[in-house]
Structure 1
Amino acid sequence: MNKSHLVLSASVGIIGGIAVWLSGGALSAVYSLWVGFIAWALFFANGGDNDAAKNTILSGVYGAVLAGLFFALSGSVNIAGAMNGPVWIAITVFVLMMGTQIEMFGNAPTAVCGYAATAGYTIHGSLPDLVTVMQLSNPVIYVSISIIIGTIFGMISGKVAAALD
């Protein structure tokens, strides 16, 4: 058995349990557990270090903002009749991908996950009208905070594992 893998598994398991507990309590108004777990995984997929944290947060939030832009525009600017939604998806995803050429938003898979998490949360929560209001229930804000918190949980679990290894 690989000791490094064992301590990382224990760290992620314990801190994951804490994340679940906090998501139903102290953080329930600002933290989506499933979005946080996605960000946590992306943090490790992006390298598991300080640069990975920065990339995960910036690219993930960038994706969330572009998804919010989709809902705001498709709900208020009809440019294609019955095809309005698909056309706005095409435009905002094109902008999303082009924007990943900018270094601070340069992690395309993470940006796409931020977009998808925001779209999923917005659609399944029937919240598209909230993307233009400045409150914690705004899906862009809620998902962005969840990405930040999930990334922090990833950082903590990595640092605890490194300290125990």
Structure 2
Amino acid sequence: MSMLIALTISIGLLAVVATWVFLGPLAALNFQIWQAFIAWACYFHCGGKPESATKTVVCMSFGALVGALSVMLAGQLGALGGLAAPVAVGIGAAVIVLAAHLPILSTIPACVYGFASVAGLILLKGTAPLDALLPTIGSIILGAGFGWASETLAGKLAKKS
């Protein structure tokens, strides 16, 4: 079978498993299926190969850390009024771009996905920035793992044909 059909099957089946895991056993840990799906997509954005998992986890986790710190900074910039959050996000974005000088952090979009993932959890659930960081990173790691698993399974399915 073609790789596209193999990916269709593997991603479809593993999406069922991932959703069950996140909405069931991991729900109490505040892990988020939507963050895992972002990391899963990021795995393929980073090349869809085993080394893509490392790039996904490192870059997205770095972005999540910068995002959490940016939210904390916004709280400290209260004197700026309505500009506090925009200035904090701008500083965070600048940090992400500057960090791209390091090869391991060079995939800027992956870092931005992590920033957005932690910010989403903070804004949607009212989670404190540091309390949002660990479940976000856990969701990223599992999402990258599902990316790797779906690529591996698809490779095996495509070879069988």
- TM score, norm. by length of structure 1: 0.88
Q: Is the 8 A contact 1:39 1:56 kept in 2?
A: yes
1:158 equivalent to 2:158? Answer no
**Corresponding position of 1:131:** 129
Change (3 A) 1:83 1:76: same
**Which aligned segments of 4 or more residues in structure 1 are displaced greater than 6 angstroms?**
none
Instruction: Give the Cα–Cα distance (whole angstroms) in 2 for the partners of residues 117 and 74 of structure 1.
Output: 17
Within 5 A, what are the aligned runs for 1:34-113?
34-78=34-78, 80-113=80-113
Amino acid aligned to 1:75: G
1:21 equivalent to 2:25? Answer no
1:60-112 CA distance string (max 9 Å, x none)? 00110000001122223446344222211111111111112211111101101
Give the total of aligned pairs: 157
**Structure 1: tracts of 5 or more residues without a match:** 133-137
Amino acid aligned to 1:152: G
Instruction: Give the Cα–Cα distance (whole angstroms) in 2 for the partners of residues 83 and 62 of structure 1.
Output: 24
**Corresponding position of 2:7:** 8
1:114-136 CA distance string (max 9 Å, x none)? 11111111111122xx224xxxx
Instruction: Give the Cα–Cα distance (whole angstroms) in 2 for the partners of residues 22 and 75 of structure 1.
Output: 34
Q: Is the 8 A contact 1:30 1:146 kept in 2?
A: no
- TM score, norm. by length of structure 2: 0.90
Deviation at 1:30?
4.6
1:10-52 CA distance string (max 9 Å, x none)? 0000011000111111222252111111110110111111221
Instruction: Give the Cα–Cα distance (whole angstroms) in 2 for the partners of residues 151 and 82 of structure 1.
Output: 36
**Structure 2: tracts of 5 or more residues without a match:** none
**Structure (1 or 2) with the greater helix fraction:** 2
Instruction: Give the Cα–Cα distance (whole angstroms) in 2 for the partners of residues 88 and 27 of structure 1.
Output: 31
Q: Which stretch of the first structure deviates more once superposed, 35-44 or 95-104?
A: 95-104
Instruction: Give the Cα–Cα distance (whole angstroms) in 2 for the partners of residues 40 and 82 of structure 1.
Output: 34
Give the alignment's Cα RMSD to 1 decimal: 1.5
Q: Secondary structure at the match of 1:16?
A: helix
1:121-156 CA distance string (max 9 Å, x none)? 1111122xx224xxxxx1111111111100000101
